[in-house]
Amino acid sequence: MVDLIPPLIELIRLSSTSLPLDVEQALQNTLHSEHPGSPARRTMELILENAAVARRKSVPICQDTGTPIFTVQYPAGYAQKELRFAILTAVEQATASAFLRSNAVHPVTGINSGSNLGDPWFPTIHFEESGEDTLVIDLLLKGGGCENVGRQYSLPDETIFAGRDLDGVRKAALDAVFQAQGMGCAPGFLGIAIGGDRGSGYLASKQLFLEPLDAHNPDPALAALEERITLEANQLGIGPMGFGGKNTILKTHITALHRLPASYFVTVSYMCWAYRRRRMTVRGEAITYA
Ligand code: SF4
């Protein structure tokens, strides 16, 4: 079996230093709609310059390299214990190489582990046996600022006039964006889970960030809602980094989870402009990145 540690370090390096092309293109597209010379336009120019420098110099796109969230789809024959060891070792070595900032702080002692390793929850690793013959590892680096502005609503919610229907979902999503203002480092991206419980809602809403930006929602009602939320979020005028402007949310993804009759959660996860996601695929000895 191939030694996974060096390729995993490369996965981390790529994720931290090089924005996915669809994300960079989405950021690039905003330039045309912001007024030349405006704070919004200058902010987007700086963001794009920063992304280009980070890729060229192989340094992190942002000083906050975020929570590493790994999703591992593995074929039969792989042992989770060995995969976990390879991931943790790669995270530690990538931190030592400064592709990741030391981000794991104990909440009671305040001590930073220095390695990005903490209890069993840091980094986050999700495992799933796939039934395929390829090993696929996705990595999402989720920044703290945008994580802070994620919100979960329990509908009905009278404070935002949101009932238990898709219009209530829309109101919850727009409230989350409005409350975030520029603190999520806009322009951002939304992952919204309707239903589930509190835990599955956050998990599913973040998993949506693994989707490409041009992914099509197969549910026409949800596809229409995604478009409408993005449109209306951009009418709030928050703009890049909260400086005002036309580009606040560049894409909304929505998924629906079965829920208990008693509960109707809407979970809104926010991804900042530093939308770092990468995929590593292992087929036999061949390793590719996307
Ligand atoms: S929210 Fe994103 S862009 Fe803002 S500081 Fe954190 S990682 Fe960087």
Number of domains in the chain: 2
127 and 98 together in one domain:
yes
169 and 242 together in one domain:
yes
In a domain, 55, yes or no: no
In a domain, 29, yes or no: no
Pocket test for ligand 1, best of 48, 65, 148, 185 (most atoms within 8 A of CB): 185
In the sheet that 124-129 helps form, which strands lie side by side, from edge to edge? 124-129, 67-74, 135-142, 276-283, 286-289
pLDDT of residue 1: 74
pLDDT beneath 50, residues of the chain: none
186 alpha carbon to ligand 1 midpoint, in Å?
A: 9
Of ligand 1's listed atoms, the one at least distance from the Cα of 143 is 7
Of ligand 1's listed atoms, the one at least distance from the Cα of 184 is 1
Q: Residue 196's closest CA among 253, 252, 260, 151? A: 260
197 and 228 together in one domain:
yes
Does this model's pTM top 0.85? yes
139 and 10 together in one domain:
yes
Strand partners, 129: 74
Using alpha carbons only, give the angle 206, 162, 254 rounded to the nearest 5 degrees.
25
Give the domain extent around 131.
5-15+61-143+276-289
Of ligand 1's listed atoms, the one at least distance from the Cα of 61 is 8
CATH number at residue 284: 3.30.360
213 and 203 together in one domain:
yes
Does the N-terminal peptide bond of residue 187 adopt cis geometry, omega within 30 degrees of 0?
yes
CA distances in angstroms from 184 to 152, 156, 179, listed in the order given: 15, 25, 10
Assess whether the C-beta atom of 54 lies below 6 angstroms from ligand 1.
no
Q: Residue 277's closest CA among 215, 222, 231, 201? A: 215
In a domain, 101, yes or no: yes
Q: Residue 170's closest CA among 188, 153, 184? A: 153
125 and 98 together in one domain:
yes
Closest residue (by CA) to atom 4 of ligand 1? 185
210 and 182 together in one domain:
yes
In a domain, 139, yes or no: yes
Tens digit of each residue's pLDDT (9 = 90 or more) over 14-49: 999 999 999 999 999 999 899 999 999 999 999 999
pLDDT of residue 195: 98
pLDDT of residue 172: 98
In a domain, 100, yes or no: yes
